[in-house]
Chains A and B, each alone.
Chain A
Amino acid sequence: DQQVKQNSPSLSVQEGRISILNCDYTNSMFDYFLWYKKYPAEGPTFLISISSIKDKNEDGRFTVFLNKSAKHLSLHIVPSQPGDSAVYFCAATPNSGNTPLVFGKGTRLSVIA
């Protein structure tokens, strides 16, 4: 039973355009959500997070949107750059992080120059 789902295994976007990565969750107890980026042969690196009390959080080119009623979040990258090509993982946790992160299977983003 997968509680965090990233239904698109891969996504291809042109440089300069917007990349939108989606994530759905089933556990209504999740109240803290994170995005991680992973390059080959490296561990995941934290990108951005959002608490369930917000519906949007922005950090430079990265914005995460949370729709609690739809149990859906998305990561927007604007503008996309070739260096953004990586695997992006969505993660969630209940209890404001006091319990382990539950990860999606990841979406591989390719930004084409």
Chain B
Amino acid sequence: KAGVTQTPRYLIKTRGQQVTLSCSPISGHRSVSWYQQTPGQGLQFLFEYFSETQRNKGNFPGRFSGRQFSNSRSEMNVSTLELGDSALYLCASRLGPAVGEQYFGPGTRLTVT
């Protein structure tokens, strides 16, 4: 069974630009969560989607948004990029909310210059 895939793997953007990251969950998994990992803060929860609906949202500004499609694939968008947005963005999928363990993708390394 294929794992969680994330595209692109690496991205360099300039301050002020916007970026869209993509996540394809494991087949059959309908819940997708996004996390930001930085050296100083560890993994911080961004949001969780299930059945195209946002179930939970972390403490991030409105510049961070996401969505989920009917095939469970998910995208997250960051607008007006800041230098502090440089991080590893991880996507995790599981069967459903509170069902099964979360399986993480390899992440997208975003660098904002």
Contact = CB atoms under 8 A, between A and B. Distances in A.
B56 interface: yes
Q: Which range contains the number of B residues in contact with the other chain?
A: 20 to 34
Contacts of A97: 98-99
Given A42-B106, A44-B104, A100-B33, A95 B98 contact: yes
Nearest to B3: A43
A41 B40 CA distance: 17
Contacts of B41: 105
A43 B56 contact: no
A33 interface: no
A49 B101 contact: yes
A100 B48 contact: yes
**Which among A34, A36, A45, A100 has the greatest number of chain B C-beta atoms within 10 A?**
A100
A101 to B, nearest CB: 7
A30 interface: no
A25 interface: no
Contacts of A100: 33, 45, 48, 56, 58
A42 B106 CA distance: 4
Interface of B: 4, 33, 35, 40-45, 48, 56, 58, 90, 92, 97-99, 101-107
18 contacts: A41-B106, A42-B106, A42-B107, A43-B90, A43-B105, A43-B106, A44-B104, A45-B103, A46-B103, A91-B43, A96-B98, A98-B97, A100-B33, A100-B56, A100-B58, A101-B45, A104-B42, A106-B42
Given A44-B90, A101-B43, A104-B42, 4 more contacts: A41-B106, A43-B104, A101-B33, A106-B42
When A and B form their complex, which 3 residue pairs have the shortest distance between CB atoms, in order from nearest? A43-B104, A105-B42, A98-B98
